[in-house]
Structure 1
Amino acid sequence: MGVVEARGITKRFGPTVALDNAGITISAGQTHALVGRNGAGKSTLVSILTGLQRPDQGEVLFAGEPAPALADRDAWRSKVACVYQRSTIIPALTVAENLFINRQTEGGRLINWRALRARAQNVLDQYGVAIDAGSQAGDLSIEQRQLVEIARALSFGARFIILDEPTAQLDGPAISRLFDRMRALREQGVTMMFISHHLEEVYEVCQTVTVFRDAKHVITSPVPDLPHDALVAAMTGEAAVAYQARARKVKAKSPVVLAVSGLGLAGRFHDVDLQVRGGEIVGLAGSGSSGKVGLAESLVGLRRPDTGTIIVNGVSPRLGDVPAALKAGLGFVPQDRHHQGFVPLLSIGENATMPIAHKLGRFGTISSARRRTRAEGMIEQLDIKTTGPDQPVGDLSGGNAQKVVLARALADDPSALVVINPTAGVDIKAKRALLGSVEDAAARGAGAVLVSDELDDLRICDRVLVMFHGRVTKELPRGWTDSELVAAMEGISS
């Protein structure tokens, strides 16, 4: 008998079978990994294990007892909590207010703010979260917000926590600290289900792994008994094949499509010079505090630099002006696809053709037929798994939604691309498609800046610029080793 069991779970959404007689059993005190490609059924299982969805068939048990009624939210919170990839922390509130939202009082009608902060600080201290309960949640780092969410989950009394892609937005040192915290929680008797597309993390922090594929349970195994290749084969139904970067040589006479000189933004990066030629892919690597994301966002106008110039295809767009950057010929894949990449309620066709809407009709109108035709071409080119161009992007799996974001970036045939963490939270096949599309763009003559926390993503780059404390400190040509790149990222000179 496990802390939680899901038996024979079937769930349909119209004609789509999200789970097909699937199940999982998680033993007390374990960190149990759940892995699978996007669309395998992981998110649906999470919604059922947390009482947000009712299965069409099957049952959920906690310590052998039937799960509470869906309407009894307090009972569910006392048994299970989920820390999602997208933070649910409210930035405008304090840490204490976030920890005890809707539970600010203890029996009385008026809030005793001093007592509330004391209660919150006790919870944080109990679970080793070194954060001031009175601090503003909006001032916390992503890592700190996750720790607050974990503490909030445990404050309800739940001893089973689901961690859904918790490392997707963390750098290496922050991931190590999160894993240390997870190990400490295990020693305190907390059971966890860990969802991640980074299979190395499964081997580092989990004891058992369950694989879902095509809405079905495929295998459950002790982690040491399932080699990496066998795990990938279980997820994909085929032998593991690593993504092979294409052989490509940038012509010395290729035009410079993106040029940066003396670019600086206080507190983020300083005096950056950069040139990208047509057909060239340049990587940006570094820790979360290196300034690489801030630099990339400045290139496309999301941030306004204090100093320096940016020239795109011979044009100098106004700094801090996204429409001007796009008009100059930049395509952009943002770091946060949920908030900056697409409009969930709009269709694939509407999202993917936003940059070229003015080209799809006359006199301010849009031809639905022309938009559909363009969208269908993008769907085929990027292998987007969908019912068609009219499906809302919010209904897609993470990997397919990310493909829509890339389709939009490529829609107007940009001369330069800026791509930030394109494979975060997507499965192996989606990674291949996304990286392959960046290489396709380069083959057509576009230059690209690729920012990624994944070393394997950077292997498609012709060269990688390493940033450390806001400055470019090293350039590595294609063929670098992991140890070379990591040493440079950590500021170790060779």
Structure 2
Amino acid sequence: MTATPTESPSPPLAEARAVSKRYGATVALADGRLTVRTGESHALVGRNGAGKSTLVSLLTGLQAPDSGGIRFDGAPAPALADRAAWRAKVACVYQKPTVVPDLTVAENLFLHRQPTGRGGLISWRRLRAEAAELLGHWDVRVDPGARTGDLRVEDRQMVEIARALSIGARFIVLDEPTAQLDSREIDRLFTRMRALQEAGITFLFISHHLQEVYEVCQTVTVLRDARWITTAPVAELPRAALVEAMAGEAVTATANAPRHAVPAEAPLVLDVAGLTGEGYTDVSLGVREGEVVGLAGSSGSGKIQLAETLAGLRSPRSGRASVLGRPLPFGDVAATLRAGVACVPRDRHEQGLVFGMTVGDNATLGVLDRLGRYGFVPPARKRALATALIERLGIRTEGPAQPVSGLSGGNAQKVVMARALASDPKALVLVNPTAGVDVRSKESLLARVDSAREDGTAVLVVSDELDDLRRCDRVLVLFHGRVTAAFPAGWHDHLLIAAIEGVSGAGDGAGTDAGPPSAPGPVGPVPPQNPPEGKRP
């Protein structure tokens, strides 16, 4: 009797096998693993810096892994130079649209591959007809003749998906697709995703909002510290366990040290009421003299836009803000500085430093009007102030005359901090103040936060780094542009991360005087891990 051969399971639609990627001394991905099955919506989650973007760049053929391999349908990925083959395998819809806003929907759908007629000229009739047919087939309800830049964000995303599907891709990476959508638009996007899944389309869904993972995904993979942590069915992974997998057991075991409360009678320095602008809505908060308040949230939370508004880089649509009772000028950095608010911006390369100038010039740039009159600044006065700032911040430099371009990243960031402190501000707004610096420089910069507190400065720290937020007396969490939770000093890492990721119940306080958040329950162990293709962590 002949045995009936067992049918082998079909290979994964997409797979990353222990891939790694380095950029010089920086390990962007040490052990990236991912197994995506046909027809599923697979979530890829992890905190900022976990390696998600690097893994996506490898999955979409933008870069080659240093080790490990990418496979599609069981076969090795195409060569990087074969862009047509990659486009037929996978497409990515990024936060920032890749459509050309001034072209029509039809023109974007068939960009660089327009149907032609006699003489090789574009057949506009065929272009519109084929665009309408494509949109109708995938139930994308937009006008092929509409200017793409006039579409709603969700419709632009669907146009990008339709364009990828028309090329042949059946695996779509959605990178933070809900970051710019409201709740009603998110619901419509998820409805469309489910319909496309039923038609055989597979999604890799990247989001900081864990609530959405449970709404739309069947499987989730967690990265932490550039390494694969676990892959599990969403239905079998409790939310507390998912947060624990992202945060790590070591950091969730203990709470951060509580601080002495700032006296209630301390003057209110920075007062924000009902502020609404691009990325944030109806935000109210206050920072008292000698208080450090943290502002946390995912990349699409609106925290950066809010900070830049308070620093004079943006103007809100409505609401007010004041410094010691005086209205804060919006959209004018110089006026904001005169009002008593100094800022360390998020990007020292583009916003923080003038690389053609010296250390001394950069450090004193914001206070030249105090050093001299009628535009004349005595060199000796500027040099004396720059030298004092260099000593105060511990900047390792040859002196004020050294070009700032010759400094290390940590010392360059100290120069940015020095310039902010040079004006003796009443309020200090710090945006990602320790980004891209070494451990020693990081500690030195955070020590300046403590010094500012002791000097009575009101400090607002906006950061993705938990170490930056540990120095704070309170941490407010922004989610979809609104303050949704408030944590007093002494918070547990996993509770704060849960609130940042939008897990229900992670915190119930909001506003400047909110009490401690309610816990989402004990964090249990991560369920049995499911390594791709039998591999173990």
TM-score, with normalisation over the residues of structure 1?
A: 0.67
SS at match of 2:33: strand
User: Larger deviation: 79-88 or 448-457?
Assistant: 448-457
Is the CA contact 1:356–1:411 (under 8 Å) kept in the aligned structure 2?
A: no
2:413 corresponds to 1:375? yes
The alpha-carbon deviation at position 281 of structure 1 amounts to 6.3
Counterpart AA for 2:169: A
For residues 370 and 48 of structure 1, what CA distance do their matches in structure 2 show? 29
Q: What's the counterpart of residue 60 of structure 1?
A: 70
Partner Cα separation in structure 2 for residue 122 and residue 243 of structure 1:
57
Kindly indicate whether the alpha-carbon contact (under 8 Å) linking 2:452 and 2:459 is maintained by their aligned counterparts in 1: no
Cα displacement string for residues 244-263 of structure 1 (whole angstroms, at most 9, x for unaligned residues): 89688665544343467999
Residue 224 of structure 1 deviates from its aligned partner by: 1.9
CA distance in 2, matches of 1:383, 1:200: 29
Aligned to 2:161: 150
1:478 correspondence with 2:502: no
Q: Could you say which residue in structure 2 is the equivalent of 1:41?
A: 51
Q: Which has the larger radius of gyration?
A: 2
Say whether the 8 Å CA contact 2:485–2:517 is kept in structure 1: no
2:102 to 92, 97, 100: 92
User: In structure 2, do the counterparts of structure 1 residues 138 and 63 end up closer, same or farther at CA, with 3 Å as the change threshold?
Assistant: same
Alignment of 1:201-240 (within 5 A): 201-238=212-249, 240=252
Q: 1:131 to 1:459 in 2, by over 3 A?
A: farther
Q: Does 2:299 correspond to 1:255?
A: no
Instruction: Answer yes or no: is the 8 Å Cα contact 2:140–2:159 preserved in 1.
Output: yes
- The offset of 1:301, in angstroms, is 4.4
> Does the 8 Å contact 2:281/2:481 carry over to 1?
no
Aligned mate of 1:325, from 332, 336, 359: 336
Match of 2:33 in 1: 23
Whole-Å separation in 2 of the counterparts to 1:200 and 1:32? 14
Q: Deviations over 1:302-356 (max 9, x none)?
A: 555799976434555655323322442335699xx6xxx5646988999xx9995
Who is 2:379 aligned against? none
1:129 aligns with 2:167: no
Q: 1-side partners of 2:281 and 2:227: how far apart?
A: 47
Cα RMSD (Å) of the superposition? 5.3
Which residue is 2:85 aligned to?
A: 75
Question: CA shift at 1:182, angstroms?
Answer: 1.5
Q: Which residue of 1 aligns with 2:114?
A: 104
- Give the length in aligned residue pairs: 431
- Which residue matches 2:211? 200
Shift of 1:371: 9.1
Residue of structure 2 in register with 1:465 after alignment: none
User: In structure 2, the residue corresponding to 1:197 is in which secondary structure?
Assistant: coil
1:143 to 1:359, Cα distance in 2 relative to 1, 3 A: same
> How has the CA–CA distance of structure 1 residues 107 and 302 changed in structure 2, closer, same or farther, with 3 Å as cutoff?
farther
Residue 91 of structure 1 aligns to a residue whose secondary structure is coil
In the alignment, what sits opposite 2:423? none
Separation in 2, partners of 1:12, 1:262: 44
1-side partners of 2:294 and 2:28: how far apart?
A: 39
| Mapped pair 1:14 → 2:21 | no
Task: Identify if the C-alpha distance between structure 1 residues 372 and 234 changes in structure 2 by more than 3 Å, giving closer, same or farther.
Answer: closer
Q: Which residue of 2 aligns with 1:445?
A: none
Whole-angstrom CA distance in 1 between matches of 2:254 and 2:97: 31
Change beyond 3 A, Cα 1:274–1:217:
closer
Unaligned runs of 5+ in 2: 1-10, 368-381, 387-399, 418-429, 490-509, 519-537
Structure 2: how far apart are the matches of 1:269 and 1:204?
24
Counting only pairs closer than 5 Å after superposition, residues 278-293 of structure 1 correspond to structure 2 as 278=289, 279=291
Gap change, CA 1:412 and 1:252, over 3 Å in 2: closer
Deviation, 1:187, is 1.0
Q: Deviations over 1:211-246 (max 9, x none)?
A: 233333332222222223333333333164698896
Q: What pairs with 1:241-320 in structure 2 (closer than 5 Å)?
A: 251=263, 253-258=265-270, 278=289, 279=291, 300-302=311-313, 311-313=322-324, 316=327, 318-320=329-331
Output the CA distance in 2 between the equivalents of 1:187 and 1:205. Answer: 13
Closer, same or farther in 2 for the Cα pair 1:436/1:148, shift >3 Å?
farther
Contact 1:332 1:418 in 2 (8 A): no
Q: Deviations over 1:253-293 (max 9, x none)?
A: 4434346799999xx999x99987544969999xx9xx999
**What corresponds to 1:181 in structure 2?**
192
Give the match's secondary structure for 1:146: helix
1:358 is matched with: 365
CA distance in 2, matches of 1:218, 1:306: 42
* TM-score (structure 2 length as normaliser): 0.62
Change (3 A) 1:17 1:102: same
